[in-house]
Structure 1
């Protein structure tokens, strides 16, 4: 009996039905629980997975258990593929390429299984340049994959103030360049838009041919309530940027982008859809 109970505890569901902001996908896939990038604005901070842990969000991460052959995931994956319509958002509540991935290689092992039996579409959402390590697997997925690289600002001082544990911006720009040179479909995710310079739209237009923009008021999955609970307005005030904390800021940014990019500029949910 005890063995059966332990076995149940070890069972992991990898593919979870997508809903809410990610309606349009069949599944979300989170290789890790927790995220040590710990961005100050992360909406997951207001979700049960973060609220009921003894340690603050950003200070812990758990790799989901995957046996050496990935048998559990492969079984679940094959069942989903057999049903059809497999569109996956990886990841919705963690970064699949956070520092733990260097040693765990969990995301890579999942991609290996996906490459053997490709989905209809996979979006890889990350802010980590580690994603370029897996260019070989991403190439195998061809136009069935898109890497969405978060670059919320072009100001390193803002990055350090609001997301101090996230990768430097220069490394993310290099990753975008390497991905595109390798032929991997790639977009920039200015999500959420943080205080930036007037040159930021031009930098985006030069780097990518697809970009999605979002803000704290329409993109946190709660109409701005989670962002308010995270006291983002106060964080802006501390930076002397309180005037930018308004929906009009992102609207103006999108307008500037569209003046530079005749197509490929999206706002909010539509930019993340398959």
Structure 2
């Protein structure tokens, strides 16, 4: 798939970001709750969401020039990625995300958040470290129960592999966080396991994290799905709030964040916390 520009202006939920960067169109993981299912890119395809992925044409030199032009207009903060996972199974052979990271290492943005659920991100630790101080890897781990993963995200990488990837990146010196987004049913030991795995955890839910106040999740039928699975008590805001409370008792100050604030660039998140404290 050809693409003239790879950087797209950010808006809405992605507070503090100037651009999003999506190296693929579509997503092989096909998570049942993914809000992209309700966007035109998915609605107007004949194939079901999760059964198709197209790579974008990207070369490091071209994207480096695009970054340079964007930086000439002011600070550049990049959410990588907002409508797909940058580490699709296809990335193992396509290397699109790696080429984009090479360009960012050569022409660094002010900040980039790599949002993924794939252990494949560990492959690129060398490039991630070149962006140290400007980059954070956010690993999605919504539950520690494999029955939940199989029911709601059956094509997502195994939970144990994601925890292992977090550990490897952290040990290598890469800034990481765990993203419980959205909170799914989990065991009583989940909070402790997260606190041991990552220095920072962000928690989100279906009501504040789908970019539409929960309406997209409702249209996707998530309330009904949870009811059918016998998990209705988990489909409520209090489930996320309870996890935040548990984590807050296990982690140092600043180690737990909620919803959009947890995904924002560090400077932007700090500024909003300061403003909130002044009102």
1:11 Cα offset (Å): 4.4
Structure 2 residue aligned with 1:192? 182
Instruction: Tell me which moved more, 44-53 or 230-239.
Output: 230-239
Contact 1:216 1:227 in 2 (8 A): yes
Query: Match for 1:46 among 33, 38, 41?
Result: 38
- Give the Å deviation of 1:270: 0.3
1:168 equivalenced with 2:158 (yes/no): yes
Query: In structure 2, what is the equivalent of residue 129 of structure 1?
Result: 119
Match for residue 246 of structure 2 among 238, 250, 256: 256
1:75 corresponds in structure 2 to 65
Per-residue deviation at 1:208? 1.0
Q: Are the counterparts in 2 of residues 146 and 187 from structure 1 also a CA contact under 8 Å?
A: yes
Cα shift at 1:65:
1.4
Matches within 5 A, 1:102-181: 102-181=92-171
Separation in 2, partners of 1:119, 1:145? 9
Q: 1:26 aligns with which of 3, 18, 27?
A: 18
Q: Once the two structures are superposed, what CA deviation does each residue of 1:148-172 show, in whole Å capped at 9, x if it has no partner?
A: 0000000011001100000000000
How does the TM-score come out when normalised to structure 2?
0.92
Q: What do the CA deviations read for 1:115-135 (whole angstroms, capped 9, x no partner)?
A: 011111010000000000000
Tell me if structure 2 keeps the 8 A contact 1:12–1:64. no
**What's 2:269 paired with?**
none
Aligned residue among 241, 244, 256 for 1:265:
256
Aligned-residue RMSD, C-alpha: 1.2
Shift of 1:238: 2.4
Deviation at 1:103, TM superposition (A): 1.1
Task: Give the unaligned 5+ runs of structure 2.
Answer: 266-279
- 2:215 and 2:74 map into 1 onto residues whose CA distance is 36
- In structure 2, the residue matched to 1:92 is 82
Distance 1:25 1:102, change over 3 A: same
Cα distance in 2 between the residues matched to 1:75 and 1:119:
12
Q: In 2, distance between residues paired with 1:10 and 1:103?
A: 18
Equivalent position to 1:59, from 37, 51, 63: 51
Distance 2:60 2:192 in 1: 43
Q: Distance in 1 between matches of 2:4 and 2:32?
A: 28
The CA deviation string for residues 97-140 of structure 1, in whole angstroms up to 9 with x for no partner, is: 01010111000001011101111101000000000000000010
Task: Give the structure-1-normalised TM-score.
Answer: 0.94
